Structure formats: structure tokens, C-alpha cells
Amino acid sequence: MRKFFFLPLLVLLLFGKVDLKAQSEGIIIVTTVEYLDLLDGGESRLYITTPDGRTEEVPLRGLYSFGGYISEKKINANDSTVAKRLNELQKRGWSILTATASTQPKTESGKPPCILTRYILVKNNQN
């Protein structure tokens, strides 16, 4: 009787794992992390994670100017960098499935607050 209990469980685990792997082969995750720190605003980054698990890190400009004001030029430069990368991916047959944004408050360890934006892209089968 025990053999019959483990067999469906084993089949479910094997096929479930294969199905998850097949789903992840067609996804690219693009994440922007923009830190809101006056003293060290240069840590903002764009991360692009490809279906094979490799991650490319692209530096973004810090959001603040020397006077302590949020710099419109730096925001525009970051937007341009992100848009350029997303356009490159779209030209290669990827399309944006979803985009989400969130903010993270300053942590107890002193890590500055940040703005996170995540884009999930899927392969467009029309190409």
C-alpha cells in the first residue's frame, strides 16, 4: 500500500519541477533599485536577470544633486537608461508582462530608503 502512496507523489514532484523549469525559460526580470540617500546616492542600479540565471548589473545615477535636491537630470538619465534596455529587449522579441513598483523604508541597520521597480518580460512567440 505504501508504494501506491509514494508513486503519485514522486510523479507530481518530477513533473511539477519540469513544468516550473519550462515556465522560467521564457522570463526575463528587470529590476531597478534607486536609493534615496543624500550622501551616497550613486548606488542605484538596474539588474537584468536572463532565463539562464545570469544577472547583468548596470549602474544608474544617484537621484540627488550636490545641493540636496532631487535632480531632474539624473531622473531623466535613469529613465533613459531603463527605457533603452527595455527597448533593446523588445526588439529581440520580449514583451512586458507586468511592471510593479514599491518603496522600502530606511532599515534599522541604516540602509537608506529605496524605490524598487520590477518588470517581468516574456518571449513574444510572434517573431
In a domain, 45, yes or no: yes
In a domain, 116, yes or no: yes
- The number of domains in the chain is 1
What is the pTM (predicted TM-score) of this model? 0.71
Q: Model confidence at 52, in pLDDT bands (50, 70, 90)?
A: very high
In a domain, 21, yes or no: no
Give pLDDT, residue 13. Answer: 43
Most confident option among 25-29, 104-108, 117-121: 117-121
In a domain, 112, yes or no: yes
Specify whether the CB–CB gap between 90 and 97 falls below 8 A.
no
Give pLDDT, residue 109. Answer: 80
In a domain, 14, yes or no: no
3-state secondary structure the chain: CHHHHHHHHHHHHHHHHHHHHHHHCCEEEEEEEEECCCCCHHHCEEEEECCCCCEEEEECCCCECCCCCECHHHHHHHHHHHHHHHHHHHHCCEEEEEEEEEEECCCCCCCCCEEEEEEEEEECCCC
Give pLDDT, residue 125. Answer: 65
Give pLDDT, residue 22. Answer: 38
Query: What is the average pLDDT score of the chain?
Result: 78
In a domain, 114, yes or no: yes
In a domain, 6, yes or no: no
Residue 79: domain span: 26-123
pLDDT in tens, 58-114: 999 888 777 677 888 988 999 999 999 999 999 999 999 999 999 988 778 877 788
In a domain, 18, yes or no: no
Give pLDDT, residue 39. Answer: 63
